[in-house]
Amino acid sequence: MTITVVGIGADGWRALPPASRAELETCDVLLGGPRQLDLVPDGPYEKRPWPSPLLPALDDVLAELTGRRVGVLASGDPLLSGIGGTLVRRLGADAVRIVPAVSSVTLARARLGWTAEETDVVSAVGRDARKVLRVLAPGRRVLVLSSGADTPGRVAALLADHGFGDSTLTVLENLGSPEERRLDGTARDWPHDAVAPLNVVAITCTGRAYSLLAGLPDEAFDHDGQLTKRDLRASALARLAPTPGELLWDVGAGAGSVAIEWCRAHPVNRAIAVESRPERADRIARNGANLGVPDIEVVTGRAPDALTGLAVPDAVFVGGGVAGAGVLSACWDALRPGGRLVAHGVTLEAEQALAAQYADRGGELTRISVERAAPLGGLTGWSPARAVTQWSVRKP
């Protein structure tokens, strides 16, 4: 079955190119949200709204329509945080034909005079709006694709709560339609309660932000002392070498700092944080949300048993429990070929376990000692932290 997905703007049927109209008029069934279906006149097709929730029912809907010509209506560009991407992932690119319209992002940038290369885009459609916190930076321009009328207010509150209250917000409603409207304000004093459900939020950022490079200051994380400190974290992440779309296991995650920085490196990076203490597991989720990566999966349990059934990792960091029976071996066995493993230990037992792994599997064994200047009487001296043994290795 081939499905044709046609993008339609808020200006509706009259603005569709003749080729897009022809695609729809040859269909037996048109699927779409109620708003999109209302934009299309009655015709030789059956209009059928998507069920809600959509994803659990999608396979059944498509199976029922086998053998019929199926058209799908989507807002603007169907591959921009839309149903087009969902169908391609589910059915494959060969089974889905995309006929795009101008996206809301393109329309918003046209209204504002923002170029593509200077604009970050974050989707809150079916996603956590706290993702916007990752891209905040002084002077940066950000577009947020809203999930509804309450998104602008939620985004304004997030910015105000995280030091970006002076940022300028512009809400563009019903882009491309006769009801198009623009609302302006600041995040701290956002004055608009009544906002149309179809909107895009534009942010011109003012505030202080954390870098996306590895090695955030320790105070960026809420923790109880169980934290991979800044210098050691930067060293570990340099060897873990995150690249877009990869999955990390952070085993013995503590505050989740390594998993969080891994995900901050690129918006499609993923991480699973494994932590045995429930209160720490809750803290990891809060830290991730506050630093713009709310989708980290947190598994509460003790390795190696808690690792069973998890998705195959591209990289593994073991920050705690390296001396535990079978932890390093289980992580190594799970790691995909070409994957990277980094483990830290501070006790003699952990050091012995890492040395044994190094002797067996090779890699790099490093002892890292960090000293910081601190008051010493009326003068200043060096205060050493515990030395950490680091084993890093790439799986053949």
| pLDDT 10s digits, 119-129 | 999 999 989 99
Token digits of residue 210: 């954390």
The whole-number pLDDT of residue 93 equals 93
Q: How far apart are CA 134 and CA 294, in angstroms?
A: 10
Cβ atoms of 272 and 310 closer than 8 Å: yes
Is residue 368 predicted with pLDDT exceeding 80? yes
Q: How far apart are CA 235 and CA 22, in angstroms?
A: 58
Q: Residue 390: which of 172, 226, 234, 211 has the closest Cα?
A: 234
The whole-number pLDDT of residue 116 equals 96
DSSP character string of 251-272: ET-TT-HHHHHHHHTSTT-EEE
Work out whether the CA dihedral 278, 279, 282, 287 comes out positive or negative: negative
Pinpoint the residues of the chain covered by CATH 3.40.50.150: 218-394
The whole-number pLDDT of residue 228 equals 96
Is residue 1 predicted with pLDDT exceeding 90? no
Pinpoint the residues of the chain covered by CATH 3.40.1010.10: 3-102
Q: How far apart are CA 373 and CA 382, in angstroms?
A: 5
Q: Residue 164: which of 136, 199, 125, 132 has the closest Cα?
A: 136
The whole-number pLDDT of residue 73 equals 96
DSSP code of 306? G
Q: How far apart are CA 237 and CA 392, in angstroms?
A: 11
Q: How far apart are CA 345 and CA 125, in angstroms?
A: 42
The whole-number pLDDT of residue 81 equals 85
Q: How far apart are CA 124 and CA 131, in angstroms?
A: 8
CATH fold label, 3-102: Cobalt-precorrin-4 Transmethylase; domain 1 (3.40.1010)
DSSP E strand stretches across the chain: 3-8, 29-32, 46-49, 70-75, 96-99, 119-123, 141-145, 168-173, 181-186, 199-204, 247-251, 270-275, 297-300, 315-318, 340-345, 364-368, 371-376, 379-384, 388-394
Q: How far apart are CA 217 and CA 61, in angstroms?
A: 49
What's the Cα-to-Cα distance from 141 to each of 146, 212, 289, rounded to whole Å? 16, 16, 21
- For 217-260, write each residue's pLDDT tens digit: 999 999 999 999 999 999 999 999 999 999 999 999 999 999 99
Length of the chain: 396
The whole-number pLDDT of residue 247 equals 98
Q: How far apart are CA 42 and CA 40, in angstroms?
A: 7
Is residue 2 predicted with pLDDT exceeding 90? no
- For 350-362, write each residue's pLDDT tens digit: 999 999 999 999 9
Most confident stretch, 173-177, 309-313, 316-320: 309-313
The whole-number pLDDT of residue 223 equals 96
State the CATH class of domain 105-204: alpha beta
Distance of CA 280 to the CA centre of its chain: 21
Is residue 281 predicted with pLDDT exceeding 90? yes
The whole-number pLDDT of residue 324 equals 82
- For 64-83, write each residue's pLDDT tens digit: 999 999 999 999 999 998 89
- For 146-169, write each residue's pLDDT tens digit: 999 999 999 999 999 999 999 999
First to last CA, the chain: 41
Q: Residue 317: which of 345, 291, 340, 342 has the closest Cα?
A: 342
Query: Partners of 209 in the beta sheet?
Result: none
Query: Partners of 250 in the beta sheet?
Result: 273, 317
Q: Residue for token digits 């376990």?
A: 353
Say if residue 385 is exposed, middle or buried (CB neighbours under 10 Å; 0-12, 13-18, 19+): middle
CATH fold label, 218-394: Rossmann fold (3.40.50)
Strands across the sheet with 3-8, in order? 46-49, 29-32, 70-75, 3-8, 96-99
When pLDDT is cut at 50, 70 and 90, the band that residue 323 belongs to is: confident
Q: How far apart are CA 168 and CA 66, in angstroms?
A: 49
Is residue 334 predicted with pLDDT exceeding 90? yes
Residue type, 134: R
Residue type, 6: V
Token digits of residue 309: 């059934």
Pinpoint the residues of the chain covered by CATH 3.30.950.10: 105-204
Token digits of residue 236: 């570990």
Is residue 192 predicted with pLDDT exceeding 90? yes
Q: What is the largest CA-CA distance in the chain?
A: 88
What's the Cα-to-Cα distance from 37 to each of 85, 174, 178, 260, 318, rounded to whole Å? 19, 16, 18, 41, 51
Q: How far apart are CA 20 and CA 15, in angstroms?
A: 10
